[in-house]
Amino acid sequence: MSVSKVRLSCLTAAAISASGASLLAQSAQEWEYQITPYLWGAGQTGQVQYGPGVPPVDIDLSFSDILENLDLAGMIIFSANKGRYGLTFDYQYVNVGMGGATPGTDFGNADVNSILSLGTVLGEYRIRNTNETSLWAGGGLRYWNVSTDLSLTAGTQPAISASSGDNWFDPMLGLRGRTSISDKWFATGWAYAGGFGAGSESMVDVLGGVGYDFTDAVSGVFGYRYLSVDREEPGFSYDVEQQGFMAGVSFNF
């Protein structure tokens, strides 16, 4: 056998050994988990139609308006990753009841009890991983469930009461990441788009924020989040923007 063939065989064997060692190292990695309860102080603007025969209603609510009429809320993110692969789950539940005068003279007052729940599941792949920066590409589904009880007192039109709702899935794609600013401080955020006419016509979810590592296991995050969705169905529409400051505490284990 020639010297060149011997060298080629050695290089090939070394490459195979290195690849095998890399695969073994990845398979030996353990799952890492993070759970983040959070509060999102979001206001709402837009237009909704709660059912056939019920006129569309414009909404313009600050977070203080929502907080004043809040019945129950809960928000949490759970993520898990092993090597370059990860999963993220995000769940929100908000129950708000409120009332007030309607514009015009068709109706008098409106009493509304609204429940919004969102559940998001994303599969992720880490496309960048250094000591300072981690960037994930993700895709999955977001489940929306909107339920509303509406009562309109009589004006020039007779009183109306209706119970309506809708639920749907939005496919979604996007990125999330984190990069170090100093030993303790970091910047974090995400940007997702979805709907694409499959569930809603469009959906956008963007977060930008900063965080602080109190310990290796506990960190805090503060940022600003924007979420919009446009769902149009016969007799039902939900074209709403939500935005406001968001704060949470992450626990790693």
What was the pLDDT predicted at 86? 97
Confidence check: pLDDT of 168 > 50: yes
Give the position of tokens 């300072």.
132
Sign of CA dihedral 164, 167, 172, 177: positive
Confidence check: pLDDT of 23 > 50: no
CA 38 to CA 34: how far, in whole Å? 13
Question: Residue 25: which pLDDT band, with cuts at 50, 70 and 90?
Answer: very low
Cα of 186 vs its chain's centroid, Å: 20
Question: Residue 16: which pLDDT band, with cuts at 50, 70 and 90?
Answer: very low
What was the pLDDT predicted at 150? 75
CA 14 to CA 134: how far, in whole Å? 30
Calculate mean pLDDT across residues 51-79: 85
Three-class DSSP category at 192: strand
Neighbours of 182 (CB within 10 A): 8
C-beta pairs of 212-219 under 8 Å, 24+ apart in sequence = 212/184, 212/185, 212/186, 213/184, 213/185, 213/186, 216/252, 217/251, 217/252, 217/253, 218/249, 218/250, 218/251, 218/252, 219/249, 219/250, 219/252
CATH number of 32-252: 2.40.128.90
Calculate mean pLDDT across residues 58-68: 87
CA 108 to CA 222: how far, in whole Å? 41
pLDDT digits (tens, 9 = 90+) for 191-203: 999 999 999 999 9
Confidence check: pLDDT of 1 > 60: no
CA 208 to each of CA 146, 213, 223: distance values in angstroms, whole numbers, following the listed order: 26, 17, 5
What was the pLDDT predicted at 186? 98
pTM: 0.80
Q: What letter would DSSP give residue 159?
A: -
Calculate mean pLDDT across residues 107-114: 76
Domain residue extents for the chain: 1-30, 32-252
Mean pLDDT of the chain: 86
